[in-house]
Amino acid sequence: MTNKAELANWGERMSIVTRAMPVAISLTVVAVITAMLWYVRPTLSLRDPVFFYVLPIIVVAIVYGRGPALLGVCAAAFCADYFLYEPLYSFDITSRVEFGDLACFAVLALIGVKCVDELFRPSPAKATAVNSLSRADPPRSAWFGYQNWDAS
């Protein structure tokens, strides 16, 4: 009896882990990109480091969908402001250029996520074709929204 209860509990835990995995991967991608940029920041003197986040966030949007990608956009903007822009380790934005970089990144990344969402969404024609194969066709009166009085 305990085995069935343990299996049910294990299934619930795995369900939670499965739902949390895309969010965790999105935040991990942002953390890895931030660590790499923070490490090379003194040697390369990158002017706009925040734009290095765009491609990984688009990949997250392709693989895991819009929600984790939007979370990644927000996390990337905060991480870039905190770790990469002067003054370091502060959310204070001291120049208009930094604000413009962060705003342009946010807009560009949000547009990219929306475009990926639209490109990878199943088309309504395919969805109706699959649904029509699985059930019988409705009567013609249901197609037009009125009763067919001529048939009687």
pLDDT tens profile 53-69: 999 999 999 999 899 99
What token pair was written down for 131?
A: 């649904």
Give the H or E element holding residue 140.
Answer: helix 140-144
Dump pLDDT digits (tens) for 131-152.
Answer: 555 555 455 444 444 454 555 4
Q: What percent of the chain has pLDDT over 70?
A: 71
How much is the average pLDDT of 43-48?
A: 81
pLDDT averaged over the chain? Answer: 80
**Where is average pLDDT lowest: 21-30, 86-95, 107-116?**
86-95
- Region of 145 on the Ramachandran plot (φ > 0 left; ψ -120 to 50 alpha; else beta): left
The string of pLDDT tens digits covering residues 115-126 is: 998 888 776 766
User: Which H or E element spans position 14?
Assistant: helix 2-44
**Cα 152 from Cα 130, distance rounded (Å):** 32
Segments making up each domain of the chain, as ranges: 22-122
Q: Sort 87 into a burial class: Cβ within 10 Å, 0-12 / 13-18 / 19+.
A: exposed
Tokens at 13, concatenated: 């835990």
